[in-house]
């Protein structure tokens, strides 16, 4: 899957666990991220509903940070293209397919596969995968890069201070396929500072 282009649906960008993993792994260069202004607008509108702690101002800040981290990710959709390919796609998701087609994406990553005409899209070379399946391919492709990305994420959790094992247990609940493929490489995941320091000396 090296060199692939992935169009990320709004639902996987609204979910912090999904978003963290997908974008941190993208930073390693394993795949290229694509989205549209409409997808990001959907993320912005729904973040406060998904997490009451996120105010509209914080949602704007998060979108700005995503754009800054991936300045080449944003493409303008062409709504006319989707109707020639997938008439059976749910109306609310046609713009996602249009974005993927314009971006020459290989895959749409979404937790709502049922809303896409998966077989129709596969016929024109566009896959639709859930984040677990997509992340499974990333760790299979380059476990060293993925382990490094996971270590970066754990480092950004100083409030909860999870160990690598605790974070793997969290992944197993949400991304079982990915976590199962990652676990044999757990020894390569960089330990966070609080795990390296060990218990305090009496």
Condensed to tens digits (0 to 9), the pLDDT of residues 156-177 reads 998 999 999 999 999 999 999 9
Would you identify the CATH topology of the domain 4-130?
Rossmann fold (3.40.50)
Task: Give tens-digit pLDDT for 120-138.
Answer: 788 778 899 999 999 999 9
Q: How far is CA 90 from CA 61, 93, 103, 118, 202, in A?
A: 30, 5, 20, 11, 61
Q: How far is CA 131 from CA 8, 111, 190, 196, 198, in A?
A: 9, 7, 23, 30, 33
How far is 46 from 91, CA to CA, in rounded Å?
18
| Model pLDDT, residue 82 | 58
Task: Quote the mean pLDDT of the chain.
Answer: 89
| Model pLDDT, residue 28 | 95
Q: How many CB atoms lie within 10 A of CB 159?
A: 6
Going across the sheet that includes 4-8, the strands are 31-34, 4-8, 107-109, 127-129
Which of 96, 125, 124, 98 shows the shortest CA–CA distance to 112?
A: 96
How far is 139 from 134, CA to CA, in rounded Å?
9
Does position 83 have pLDDT exceeding 70, yes or no? Answer: no
For residues 108 and 31, the answer to whether their CB atoms sit within 8 Å is no
| Model pLDDT, residue 169 | 96
Share of the chain above pLDDT 70, in %: 90
Q: How far is CA 110 from CA 134, 162, 186, in A?
A: 10, 27, 26
Which of 48, 112, 103, 110 shows the shortest CA–CA distance to 70?
A: 103
Which of 16, 36, 166, 19 shows the shortest CA–CA distance to 101?
A: 36
Instruction: Give the DSSP H or E segment for 87.
Output: none
Comparing 202 with 118, the larger pLDDT belongs to: 118
CA dihedral 92, 98, 99, 100 (to 10 degrees): 110
| Model pLDDT, residue 113 | 84
| Model pLDDT, residue 72 | 95
Assign 61 a pLDDT band (cuts: 50, 70, 90).
very high
Does position 184 have pLDDT exceeding 60, yes or no? Answer: yes
Does position 140 have pLDDT exceeding 70, yes or no? Answer: yes
Task: Give tens-digit pLDDT for 37-56.
Answer: 999 999 999 999 999 899 99
Mean pLDDT for 8-13 is 96
Mean pLDDT for 95-121 is 87
Mean pLDDT for 94-101 is 88
Share of the chain above pLDDT 90, in %: 71
What residues does CATH 3.40.50.1010 cover in the chain?
Answer: 4-130
In this structure, what are the phi and psi dihedrals at residue 84, rounded to the nearest 5 degrees? -85, -5
| Model pLDDT, residue 60 | 96
Does position 1 have pLDDT exceeding 50, yes or no? Answer: no
Rg (C-alpha) for the chain, rounded Å, is 18
């Amino acid at each position: 899957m090296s060199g692939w282009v992935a169009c990320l649906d709004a639902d996987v960008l609204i979910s912090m666990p999904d978003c963290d993993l997908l974008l941190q792994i993208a930073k390693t260069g394993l795949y290229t991220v694509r989205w549209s202004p409409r997808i990001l607008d959907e993320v912005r509108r729904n973040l406060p509903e998904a997490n009451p702690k996120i105010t509209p101002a914080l949602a704007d800040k998060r979108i700005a940070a995503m754009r800054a981290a991936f300045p080449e990710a944003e493409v303008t959709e062409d709504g006319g293209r989707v109707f020639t390919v997938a008439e059976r796609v749910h109306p609310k998701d046609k713009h996602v397919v249009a974005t993927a087609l314009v971006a020459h994406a290989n895959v749409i990553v979404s937790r709502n596969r049922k809303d896409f005409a998966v077989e129709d899209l596969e016929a024109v070379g566009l896959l639709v995968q859930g984040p677990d399946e997509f992340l499974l391919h990333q760790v299979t492709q380059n476990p060293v890069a993925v382990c490094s990305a996971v270590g970066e994420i754990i480092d950004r959790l100083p409030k909860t201070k999870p160990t690598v094992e605790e974070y793997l247990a969290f992944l197993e609940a949400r991304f079982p396929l990915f976590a199962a493929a990652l676990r044999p490489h757990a020894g390569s995941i960089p330990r966070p500072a609080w795990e390296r320091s060990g218990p305090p000396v009496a």
